[in-house]
A = this chain, B = another copy of it.
């Protein structure tokens, strides 16, 4: 008398595969049902109930290792666990929703890496006639700055926004960019460096660096990485950088070494 459902019927009923049912048996999460004469598992309604319960919990993200315990727990603990699961599901839903909404930022690379304000600055650079390569280097710098020195990233942006309103700064920056192709010993570099330093000192926006920041040598190292990042462009840029720093230090501005 073949009483009860076969594993395939039971699996279809609870909406899982046969393999999943056997998996649950092996983990001891659902007891094996009786076998019929030919060794087939036969599922009665009690077995189906247990399967559905297990399936529902597992489907809600409860680790299988906990499902068995949970189903055997007293109603009080069980209810608490259900509440917990409900909470976790809600959390997960919110998480997914957020992910979905963030997805569109991938369309344009910058938006995934930088806040809107920084993107606006980069666009402004393009509008001001800076070449794409320069904008790319500048974007690199912003990304590094945000990653390495988040403490002062906001004031970094302030400084940039302020500077872009100054035609002299823009002119000097364009010249600095041209300096890439100069010989490192070109005398114009010395001249340019003092002009740049003077401009920076005139603005004094560098002072927005938070007090205390300068004392942490770790922070200084990170600042150094950002500050020397553009030196990748060539030896004359490195020299220009060094000279500007020298000028600033001579004027009493503290700049971490290395």
For the complex, give the distance between the alpha carbons of A79 and B103 in Å.
Answer: 11
Q: Decide yes or no whether A86 CB sits under 8 A from chain B.
A: yes
Q: Roughly how many angstroms separate A82 CA and B49 CA in the complex, as a whole number? A: 40
A251 interfacial contact with B, CB 8 Å? no
Residue contact B45 to A144, C-beta cutoff 8 Å: yes
- Please classify the interface of chain A as helix (H, G, I), strand (E, B), loop, or mixed, using the class held by over half of its residues: helix
Kindly state the interface size class of chain A when it binds its partner.
Answer: 35 or more
When the two chains form the complex, which single residue of B44, B60, B113, B143 contacts A103, counting CB atoms closer than 8 Å?
A: B60
Contact of A48 with B5 in the complex, beta carbons under 8 Å: no
A56 cross-chain contacts in B, Cβ below 8 A: 99, 102-103, 105-106, 112
Residues of the B chain whose Cβ atoms lie less than 8 Å from the Cβ of A107: 79, 82
Is B100's CB under 8 angstroms from A86's CB? yes
Interface status of A232 (Cβ within 8 A of chain B): yes
User: Are B46 and A140 touching (Cβ within 8 A)?
Assistant: yes
> Across the interface, do B45 and A143 meet the contact criterion of CB distance under 8 Å?
yes
Residue of B nearest to A95 (CB): B59
Q: Which residues of B contact A147 (CB under 8 A)?
A: 5, 9-10, 13, 48
Contacting pair B45 A106 (CB below 8 A): no
> How far apart are the CA atoms of A106 and B106 in the complex, in Å?
41
Is A100 within 8 A of B104, CB to CB? Answer: no
Q: Restricting to A93-135, which residues have a CB under 8 Å from any CB of B?
A: 93, 96-97, 99-100, 102-107, 109, 112-113
8 Å CB contact of A52 from B99, B113, B225? B113
Which residues on B sit within 8 Å (CB–CB) of A86? 100, 103
| A96 (CB) vs chain B CBs: closest residue | B93
Cα–Cα, bound, A96→B61 (Å): 10
Question: Is the CB–CB distance between A48 and B143 below 8 Å?
Answer: yes
- B89 in contact with A93 (CB, 8 Å): no
Chain B residues within an 8 Å CB radius of A13? 146-147
Instruction: Report if A216 contacts B (CB, 8 A).
Output: no
Q: Are B225 and A53 in contact (CB under 8 A)?
A: no
Contact A229 B144 (CB under 8 A): no
Does A2 reach chain B (CB closer than 8 Å)? yes
**A207 within 8 Å of B by Cβ?**
no
Chain A 1-30 interface 0/1 with B at a Cβ cutoff of 8 Å (1 = within): 111110001100100000000000000000
Check A228 for interface membership: any CB of B closer than 8 A.
yes
Identify 13 residue pairs between A and B in the complex whose beta-carbon atoms are under 8 Å apart, listed by A's number.
A4-B144, A45-B139, A45-B142, A45-B143, A45-B144, A49-B112, A56-B102, A56-B106, A56-B112, A60-B99, A82-B104, A93-B100, A96-B96
